[in-house]
Structure 1
Amino acid sequence: MRFLLGICLIALTATRAAAESGIDAWLRYAPLNAPDATVATLSAQAPNHIVVLNATAGSPIITASQELQKAFQGVFNKTIDILYAADNCSSVIGSVKVLIVGTATSFNRLCGNNSSSSLVSSSDLVPDGYLWQLPSHDSSLPTLLLGQNERGTLYGTFSYLLELAQGNDPAKTASNATTTNGHTTHISNPAAPVRWVNQWDNLDGSIERGYGGKSLFFSGGKVVTDLRRAAAYARILASVGINAVVVNNVNADAALVHTPANIEGLGRIADAFRPYGVRVGVSLNFASPQSVGGLSTYDPLDKSVVSFWDGVTLQLYERIPDLAGFLVKGDSEGQPGPKKYGRTLAEGANLFARALRKHSPADSPGILMYRAFVYDQLQESNWRADRANAAVTYFSPLDGQFDDNVVVQVKYGPIDFQVREPASPLFGHLQKTNAAIELQVTQEYLGQQCHLVYLPPLWRTVLDFDMGKVDGEPSVVRDIITGERFNRLLGGSAGVVNAGTSDTWLGSHLAQANLYAYGRMAWDPTAGHDDGNDNSSTLSTPRHIIESWTKLTFGRDPTLVNTVADMALASWPAYENYTGNLGTQTLTDILYTHFGPNPASQDGNGWGQWTRADKNGVGMDRTVRNGTGFAGQYVGKEVAAQFESVETTPRDLLLWFHHVPYTQRLPGPGENTTVIQHIYDAHYAGAETAALFVTRWAALNASGLIDPERYASIARQLAFQAGHAIVWRDAICGFFAGLSGIADRHDRVRHHPWRIEAEAMTLHGYTKQAVSPAITASGGQAIVAAGRGQASASATIPTSIPPGVYTLAVNYFDLAGGRSSYAVQINGKTIGNWTGNAEDVFGKATSTHLDGHSATRVSFLNVVVAAGDTVTVLGTPDGAEQAALDYVSFLPEGVVD
């Protein structure tokens, strides 16, 4: 046997692109190589001077001018000086090719009467909004980047620069632009005032459901000294219009806001954020008055409790005068809340809202974000129990009882960030209450940044969902959260991001696209809206967002852009196919890390997410007539009626709303298949798509379009995903085959002719061990090295492999607590090796067990087997990791087992 090309997930050839770590995300300002006519014109028209209408140190306008200077240097290789005109424009405005950056008010006051400029109308701008006024290329008029406020100036500057960095002419790509008197005016306003990020950071430096390293803010129980990375994070967020970050875990540690040192630390974070217009928000623990305040109660109506929170809020505003507000999670998942004292959730929320209103600036009252993630429906034996009902049950009767500076933060679906859920019906019930949608950028249930899953198409299914007619008018979610539908002043989006100290911020390069898209869609919830014409020339499509991100992150080459966009747009459907389709949610282990497959855990505990799969059928009956009644929670009768019927329920939500036999024919034209066969077919199709990602990405390598470091990192991620998709496919298909007793009509499930089970090999130093759940190992078992330390074990294939050229694939278990080493030998000669070091490479939650979380696959390409060759796998355990093996496959060309 000969090993020709090396391990497929790290194979590299020389490339021409410069090495990059990912730390600059989409703000690389890379030179526009191979410039076209547009780029040449833009370069020639670059300004001679940047005129700044504010000289205050730390101002977002100063930040904007610095970004302009950096971008013109990077993109066009032009050094441009900065001039300050805090008092008068006359000394600089007459120069040709001047770019002026400031607020619209300051421009009109300082520059509007100059002979080379005129007053601009700012009446169409709302807070944080901006305008560009761009002269024609042969005009001597200045370029204006003006905001309604200083944050708006910075947002407008970033938006302008991100167009230039893609090689676009902003005057031609600006939407809703008007052209008069030799210049083009583009106005952009945020659709909603709340464009927040939630970080689930803990004081010890860990991040709950974070896959991108340690906290940017905390370590060892206090705020870190060096906040440069925090400031860099604020820069990235500001570039897509984010205006606040809740810096600590919603499962809040009371100590954060109850010691002078930590309040000072929060103040330093605010100081680091302020030049980027990003404000600090803080999560609070409801029981703090009792747990750290020395009171006997945390009853929200108790005067001593009110006084306690007044004092905390005052201390925070004294140090952070632009504090964004608070986030509170109460009465959910063991967190304390007002229900203990018989108080309503509205009374609990208003406690904090009133403290904020009392101590925050009158023109910018602090916002209280109150999470609607409250549930206590235990399954037990009650067929009608359903935690999906909880949000409407608790919050709908309280509509109109929340203070005006309260925003109810509603998860996009009624369960918990699953691969597909119907839009939460609570949105339709909050007609007198401010609402924000909670989206999850960190991929808790969606592959934890090890799997490519581009999320805007998922988010669009919720944002575009119509809750039904209220007073004869449609109630689309995107219009509800902006306040437009029910005439609310506050609302918007909260994204759970959980960025960390990784150079890629989120744990992988491709995951950054979701953060970029979140900012775009929080600014304008119609961004990414599929209008039925999904192509690169249409600005309102998911494809346009991923294409713009790709150009900014990697480059403008059409092959590169199309490859990344195609993969991204295929990724969510593929992930849904191999993890849980037809509305069964993500069939992961909900009791442990939320990463690998374990469908039995959905129904095996009282707090489950419930598929109610049994030997006869699958699906959760949520109808009114016979089930949990969830379908009837939608305010529009026509929506409730649609979900009530198997025939009219959309196929991709069938098992969310209905319990059906495995032999149920799927609704919809053009397909005549059963539920069980669709489950098999979809899981195989999803895994096949994931395998194509590897080859699509590899095709870019020879072109030199990606630097070696980022190419290798992404190649490894995609290879891991392709292998783990097979783990998912086999586990879920095996589970349902065993439960239903119905075979796959294509004879794929549990039939793997190219595999050799490790437990069937000739073992030396290895012993057999059961895997739990058994479906996550090919034969229900693995082998583990009996010794510890450096004592190698071997597993030799007892039969001859037919001569030929193969892809050799090995499934093993990469556990936390050790870094075992492995080698494949042919006739005693090592032809490939690897290390079980996923904890060093990926940010995903690790596992200490042989299970679907630790199951991993490594492949070697073009392995030549001769007659009589002896194949052996050696494993050397390390620490708690016992070099566990599942199986070896020898795959002929074109075969994926």
Structure 2
Amino acid sequence: MEHTRRIYSEYNAWLQPKFYLASKALRIRADFDLDFIHQECHLGLIRLWGEIQDSAAYTLQLKMDDLEPEAFSLTPLINGFEIAGGSKTGLLYGVYRFLNRLAAGENIEKIQERSAPQVDYRIINHWDNMDGHIERGYAGHSFFFHNHKFDYDEERIITYARMMASIGINGICINNVNVNKVSAGLIAEPHLSDLAELAALFRPFGIRLLVSVHFDAPMIVGGLTTSDPLDAGVKEFWQAQSTVVYTKIPDFLGYLVKADSEFRGGPEAFGRTQADGANTIAAAVAPFGGLVFWRCFVYNCQQDWRDQQTDRPMAAYKHFQPLDGTFDENVILQIKNGPVDFQTREPVSPLFSSLKNTREAIEFQIAQEYTGQQIDLFSLAVQWEEILTTEIDKGKQLKSLFGQEIVAVTAVTNTGNNMNWTGNTLAQCNLYAFGRIAWNPDLTAKELIREWIQITFETNELGCLTMEEMLLTSRGIYESYTAPLGIGFMVNPNSHYGPNVDGYEFSHWGTYHRASFDAIGVDRTSKGTGFTLQYPESLQRKYDDITSCPEELLLFFHRVRYDYKMKDGRTLLQYMYDSHFEGAQQAEALLQAWETLENRVPQETFNSVKERLKRQLRNAREWRDQVNTYFYRKTGINDDKGRQIYM
């Protein structure tokens, strides 16, 4: 067959029109009542294969089979190919997986796979406000809202739904967890009818909607004088309003709640527990099969910096671990991957190893709030692989909880209304990787990055290897020129981009490094704040002992003198100097590597990524100079290698 090459567009993300080098004509046959899936398969094959011929002998068969509901199988036949699913949604996932493997250049006769997700709920959280602004958004404005109402391009929503379904996403929360008085009304008219129309666009793709709700909705929406979760009127409000919601949207997934956190209302304001608050709302949606995702990001955001006993990372455990087993079955505690706040590096939250009788969701952040803001290159797949393979108890990795205590994987998304969805085109890789790793946590960063490159770009092996190496090393590079060894929070307050070593040091947010003339870090051992005591005994001993504590987390768990000898013989101070000098050099090397890809990737992508890599280099140099100068001024000790440090 001969085909006219179609034009690459960043808007198509990993669903590019790339033609598979087919040597045979193909036709599609489907079981009864599979029209939508047949249509999606046809569209994908037109994009990749070219021409579909009803008279062709080679048949692609779509069928239902006795599999788990969301599972699929891909099977080559003697004169055709079979895609089977345990449900319509499972079959749709099979179609998308088949198309993605074709797009990666695989031979159709060698594609064989049987797959099922390891968790039931794979959810994208949008932090979109109804005025159109996205909190911690780095890719434009909301494509759901504008001017305090629903305002969207229907075709864009369908494209987005297809993108999300193609990586296994089955739930989307459309609004910011920091719910204001306007978005509190999403569960009532006039917005509810619009929400139902949006849900209808996602439904064929197997995606159910959630909304973030305001804990004080009984007062804001219902006109009550209290939001006390044990008040009879409050319970009646949630029951009545949820009935209205589910009447409009019968397959509505449920509510996401941020309570008692960062100036948000919550049950503790009424002397109630987190379980009291969650269970009241959960009881209201339970008759409809609804869920409540209750965030565990609860801490004292009014800390006095002079207080050296209060330790922010300990807060979630203190609030929720004593309540293990008291939450209703349809409550899922949404726990950030680390105990602080999506930092470049932090340990895994101790809640995961301590909650034995409560359903959990692990929450990641695809939006690069603290990891470069989609200006600086940062492959989150590398970070996520490390997190999921972290030991949470003796011989037990975090990912072993998938399908057990962990029933959901969620993430704050990095999308907006920019034409390329993610601001930095290479940040599309993080969005793709999240969906895939939420489905299968055994996938490696290298596998995910290679997959995304192959299905997104038409480039040679050298181009693939160059991009792969850039992405695989990007996390380490960013960490090395910003805040290594787990120290965290040396960013500019509010924006969270760029260096400001003491920016949060005397604030109320509880994010302190407490650097002095001779040492840095917070002692979080059993002899310090006691944070390590929240972990199982084997990990407590490991983190307590400075010689067995992983060096990459050294300054998270320990207060360390600048003359402390690292494992390679360098002092801590010299390590800091070297890390920042080398990180800036490596940022320059990223730019140089990208420049070799001119004419190997589409020009629009080449130009936009190059511009961001130039900004990253400026940022890296600023980090290098500010951090090194900071430590030189603290200690008066020169760099052993005599490199320039400014006074």
* TM value normalised by structure 2: 0.96
| 2:468 maps to 1:526 | no
Unpaired runs of 5+ residues, structure 1, are 1-16, 33-38, 56-60, 82-91, 105-121, 175-185, 529-541, 752-778, 780-897
Residue identity matched to 1:569:
L
| 2:295 maps to 1:371 | yes
Partner-residue secondary structure (3-state), 2:419: coil
Residues 700 and 313 (structure 1), Cα distance of their counterparts in 2 relative to 1, 3 Å cut: same
| 2:634 maps to 1:739 | yes
Which of 254, 259, 279 does residue 325 from structure 1 map onto?
A: 254
Partner-residue secondary structure (3-state), 2:484: coil
Structure with the bigger percentage of helix: 2
Output the CA distance in 2 between the equivalents of 1:641 and 1:165. 48
Output the CA distance in 1 between the equivalents of 2:69 and 2:262. 37
Counterpart residue number, 2:141: 214
Output the CA distance in 2 between the equivalents of 1:737 and 1:19. 53
Residue identity matched to 2:125:
N
Residue identity matched to 1:655:
L
Counterpart residue number, 2:390: 465
Output the CA distance in 1 between the equivalents of 2:109 and 2:501. 52
Displacement after TM superposition at 1:395 (Å): 0.6
Counterpart residue number, 1:310: 239
Q: Name which of structure 1's ranges 326-335 and 382-391 shifts more when overlaid on structure 2.
A: 382-391
Residue identity matched to 1:665:
K
Partner-residue secondary structure (3-state), 1:266: helix
Which of 453, 461, 475 does residue 550 from structure 1 map onto?
A: 453
**Counterpart contact for 2:524–2:532, Cα < 8 Å:** yes
Residue identity matched to 1:52:
A
Write the deviation string for residues 793-815 of structure 1: whole angstroms up to 9, x where unpaired.
xxxxxxxxxxxxxxxxxxxxxxx
Write the deviation string for residues 214-262 of structure 1: whole angstroms up to 9, x where unpaired.
1111111111153322221111110100001000001113443254121
Output the CA distance in 2 between the equivalents of 1:737 and 1:31. 57
Output the CA distance in 2 between the equivalents of 1:721 and 1:730. 14
**Counterpart contact for 1:166–1:556, Cα < 8 Å:** no
Residues 492 and 169 (structure 1), Cα distance of their counterparts in 2 relative to 1, 3 Å cut: farther
Output the CA distance in 1 between the equivalents of 2:211 and 2:543. 39
Output the CA distance in 1 between the equivalents of 2:572 and 2:108. 50
Write the mapping of 1:817-856 to structure 2, written as runs, cut at 5 A.
none
**Counterpart contact for 2:124–2:172, Cα < 8 Å:** yes
Which of 294, 303, 306 does residue 381 from structure 1 map onto?
A: 306
Output the CA distance in 1 between the equivalents of 2:35 and 2:259. 40
Counterpart residue number, 2:577: 680
Counterpart residue number, 2:285: 356
| 2:11 maps to 1:23 | yes
Displacement after TM superposition at 1:54 (Å): 4.2
Displacement after TM superposition at 1:740 (Å): 2.1
Segments ≥4 residues shifted beyond 4 Å: none
| 2:272 maps to 1:343 | yes
Structure with the bigger percentage of strand: 1
Residue identity matched to 2:11:
I
Counterpart residue number, 2:365: 440
Counterpart residue number, 1:813: none
Displacement after TM superposition at 1:615 (Å): 1.4
Counterpart residue number, 2:210: 281
| 2:580 maps to 1:654 | no
Partner-residue secondary structure (3-state), 1:409: strand
Counterpart residue number, 2:105: 167
Output the CA distance in 2 between the equivalents of 1:434 and 1:46. 49
Counterpart residue number, 1:587: 490
Count of matched residue pairs: 641
Output the CA distance in 2 between the equivalents of 1:171 and 1:442. 38
Counterpart residue number, 2:616: 721
| 2:621 maps to 1:633 | no
Output the CA distance in 2 between the equivalents of 1:231 and 1:740. 57
Output the CA distance in 2 between the equivalents of 1:653 and 1:170. 45
Partner-residue secondary structure (3-state), 2:542: helix
Which one has the largest radius of gyration? 1
Counterpart residue number, 2:403: 483
Residue identity matched to 1:610:
Y
| 2:75 maps to 1:151 | no
Partner-residue secondary structure (3-state), 1:510: helix
Q: CA RMSD in A?
A: 1.9
Residue identity matched to 1:103:
M
| 2:349 maps to 1:414 | no
**Counterpart contact for 1:353–1:368, Cα < 8 Å:** yes
**Counterpart contact for 1:19–1:707, Cα < 8 Å:** no
Displacement after TM superposition at 1:171 (Å): 5.4
Output the CA distance in 2 between the equivalents of 1:588 and 1:575. 13
Output the CA distance in 2 between the equivalents of 1:199 and 1:225. 15
Partner-residue secondary structure (3-state), 2:309: coil
Residue identity matched to 2:503:
S
Displacement after TM superposition at 1:594 (Å): 0.5
Counterpart residue number, 2:29: 51
Output the CA distance in 1 between the equivalents of 2:293 and 2:221. 22
**Counterpart contact for 2:266–2:277, Cα < 8 Å:** yes
Output the CA distance in 1 between the equivalents of 2:63 and 2:489. 48
Partner-residue secondary structure (3-state), 1:160: helix
Output the CA distance in 2 between the equivalents of 1:685 and 1:597. 17
Displacement after TM superposition at 1:325 (Å): 1.1
Residues 491 and 46 (structure 1), Cα distance of their counterparts in 2 relative to 1, 3 Å cut: farther
**Counterpart contact for 1:207–1:498, Cα < 8 Å:** no
**Counterpart contact for 2:74–2:111, Cα < 8 Å:** no
Displacement after TM superposition at 1:732 (Å): 1.2
Displacement after TM superposition at 1:170 (Å): 5.2
Residue identity matched to 1:740:
T
Counterpart residue number, 2:180: 253
Write the deviation string for residues 373-419 of structure 1: whole angstroms up to 9, x where unpaired.
00017243222210000011011001111111111111011000000
Q: Name which of structure 1's ranges 497-506 and 251-260 shifts more when overlaid on structure 2.
A: 251-260
Write the deviation string for residues 187-224 of structure 1: whole angstroms up to 9, x where unpaired.
20000001000000001011100111111111111111
Residues 304 and 170 (structure 1), Cα distance of their counterparts in 2 relative to 1, 3 Å cut: farther
Output the CA distance in 1 between the equivalents of 2:192 and 2:223. 19
Counterpart residue number, 1:197: 124
**Counterpart contact for 2:489–2:512, Cα < 8 Å:** no
Output the CA distance in 2 between the equivalents of 1:734 and 1:342. 48
Write the deviation string for residues 341-369 of structure 1: whole angstroms up to 9, x where unpaired.
111101111112111112x1xxxx22211
Counterpart residue number, 2:606: 711
Displacement after TM superposition at 1:272 (Å): 1.2
Partner-residue secondary structure (3-state), 2:393: coil
Partner-residue secondary structure (3-state), 1:467: strand
Residue identity matched to 1:606:
H
Write the mapping of 1:264-275 to structure 2, written as runs, cut at 5 A.
264-275=193-204
**Counterpart contact for 1:130–1:155, Cα < 8 Å:** yes
**Counterpart contact for 2:75–2:81, Cα < 8 Å:** yes
Output the CA distance in 2 between the equivalents of 1:554 and 1:191. 29
Output the CA distance in 2 between the equivalents of 1:312 and 1:80. 51
Residue identity matched to 2:247:
E
Partner-residue secondary structure (3-state), 2:222: coil
Output the CA distance in 2 between the equivalents of 1:31 and 1:452. 29
Residues 573 and 63 (structure 1), Cα distance of their counterparts in 2 relative to 1, 3 Å cut: farther
Residues 171 and 298 (structure 1), Cα distance of their counterparts in 2 relative to 1, 3 Å cut: farther
**Counterpart contact for 2:71–2:85, Cα < 8 Å:** yes
Counterpart residue number, 1:663: 563
Displacement after TM superposition at 1:722 (Å): 1.3
| 2:58 maps to 1:97 | yes
Residue identity matched to 1:129:
A
Displacement after TM superposition at 1:608 (Å): 3.2
Output the CA distance in 1 between the equivalents of 2:231 and 2:76. 58
* TM value normalised by structure 1: 0.70
Displacement after TM superposition at 1:582 (Å): 1.2
Write the mapping of 1:420-431 to structure 2, written as runs, cut at 5 A.
420-431=345-356
Output the CA distance in 2 between the equivalents of 1:97 and 1:79. 10
Displacement after TM superposition at 1:75 (Å): 2.2
**Counterpart contact for 1:733–1:749, Cα < 8 Å:** no
Output the CA distance in 1 between the equivalents of 2:197 and 2:131. 18
Partner-residue secondary structure (3-state), 1:410: strand
Identity of counterpart residues, as a percentage?
36
Displacement after TM superposition at 1:483 (Å): 3.2
Unpaired runs of 5+ residues, structure 2, are none
Write the deviation string for residues 638-680 of structure 1: whole angstroms up to 9, x where unpaired.
11001001111111000100001111111x3xx1101111011
Displacement after TM superposition at 1:476 (Å): 2.2
Write the mapping of 1:115-134 to structure 2, written as runs, cut at 5 A.
122=66, 125-134=67-76
